[in-house]
Chains A and B, each alone.
Chain A
Amino acid sequence: EIVLTQSPGTLSLSPGERATLSCRASQSVSGNYLAWYQQKPSQAPRLLIYRASNRATGIPDRFGGSGSGTDFTLTIIGLEPEDFAIYFCHQYGSSPLTFGGGTKVEIK
């Protein structure tokens, strides 16, 4: 099973700032099948990025994904008020599918 470790656990930033979230896998993610999701309280996760760097339909271009192998990054350039949420990475290249523990982006 691939273990995904996200850091930091919490990121305290102000609107307009840049957020950099990390996701490290315990072994290489097949096909770079790594996704990022945003989750707000009492809502289902929302797909942001798939295959490490591809934005999902309707996702603003301030969200960007990068990385390969075992190290992946989600960058949010110019935080908007609606971006304060929890972000999860997810590998879907090998079974069992696994998720990281999440990074909370909170308002400073």
Chain B
Amino acid sequence: QVQVEQSGAEVKKPGASVKVSCKASGYSFTTYGISWVRQAPGQGLEWMGWISAYNGNTNYVQKFQGRVTMTTDTSTGTAYMEVRSLRSDDTAVYYCARDHPTAPGNRALDYWGQGTLVTVSS
């Protein structure tokens, strides 16, 4: 069965970086993409961007461009998202979810990781 397992909670100081991992199993990793979505405490869902596990193409929301990098390791079926220059308002649960292989969207996000809480505090 399809499973998506994310790395554990992180506590970071402002200005630091964090790298969250997302390991997929139960399906052919390179025939899908991965979207990243975050949720600040008590807030709604915010799409951050997408990466194709098929060809490595990425699509980032403009507000995150230059501060976020999404990558994949096809040998282990794992996606990664690094966020740099963390601020207090980056405190959120970060989710990865299975997406379309060649462009963000065009298929609903059907399998989600359990989420990774990133807390940014001095």
Contacts and interface: CB of A to CB of B under 8 A. Distances in A.
Interface of A: 31, 33, 35, 43-47, 50-51, 56, 88, 90, 92-102
B29 interface: no
B108 A99 contact: no
13 contacts: A43-B114, A45-B109, A47-B108, A50-B110, A51-B108, A56-B110, A88-B44, A88-B45, A92-B105, A95-B59, A96-B47, A99-B37, A102-B44
B96 to A, nearest CB: 10
A44 B108 contact: no
Given A99-B45, A99-B47, 12 more contacts: A31-B106, A44-B114, A44-B115, A45-B95, A47-B108, A50-B107, A50-B108, A88-B45, A92-B104, A97-B50, A98-B47, A101-B44
Contacts, number: 62
Interface of B: 35, 37, 44-47, 50, 59, 61-62, 95, 103-110, 112-115
